[in-house]
Amino acid sequence: MDYDKRKKNTQKKLLEALKILSEDGRYHFVFIPTQVSIHLPRIVNSAKKVITSKVKEEHCTFIRHPYSWHEIKAFFGLMDVVIAVSFHSAVFSISMNVPTLGLYEGEYYRMKIGGIFNLIGMDNLALNASNEHVGEIVSKFRDLVARKDEIRKLLTKVNNVLRKECCYACRKLIKTLK
């Protein structure tokens, strides 16, 4: 399956999952684009049309301003949980200790998104959209919400270890290069 078909399939399953989740009125969805460009208003307007065809607009907020990477990462840190469909959104939310569900399609994105979830020991939260039914995505999301405090604590511990290991690796590299 080519990239565009995979992207549309992931998008379709995500939209169906959001539709199901929005029906009980418990969730408010915030769409945070990680692509900073002059085309952001057009990208957001296109996304809004697609999303509000399935989810009522009052259940959604769309970030429209081209914020800095620091600000975008801070937005992710304010979320209760995140559904990440890009590597950057997964890294931003996980590094902010936010429980995250990753959706991907294709080998390239499995390596990227699946890799970050493998690194933190939460492989079960990275889902191959082409292999999953919408019901499984919804079920994983609801489980993530129910366990968000527990998962946030685990992510805090994992991220502290990763920070220390990263600093150690950098020191070793610098020593080796000298």
Each residue's pLDDT, cut to its tens digit, for the chain (178 residues) gives 576 777 778 888 999 999 999 998 899 999 998 876 666 777 788 888 888 888 888 899 998 888 888 999 999 999 999 999 989 999 999 999 999 999 998 899 899 999 999 999 999 999 999 888 999 999 999 999 999 999 999 999 999 998 888 877 778 788 888 8
Q: What is the pLDDT of residue 7?
A: 73
Which CATH number belongs to the domain containing residue 165 in this structure? Answer: 3.40.50.2000
What is the pLDDT at residue 38? 66
Number of domains, the chain: 1
**Rounded CA separation 101/115 (Å):** 13
Q: What is the pLDDT of residue 46?
A: 82
Look at residue 37 in the predicted model and tell me its pLDDT. 67
CA distance 170 to 162: 12
Total-model pTM: 0.85
CB 22 within 8 A of CB 29: yes
134: its two tokens: 């919408």
Domain range for 35 is 3-177
Alpha-carbon span 98 to 78, nearest angstrom: 8
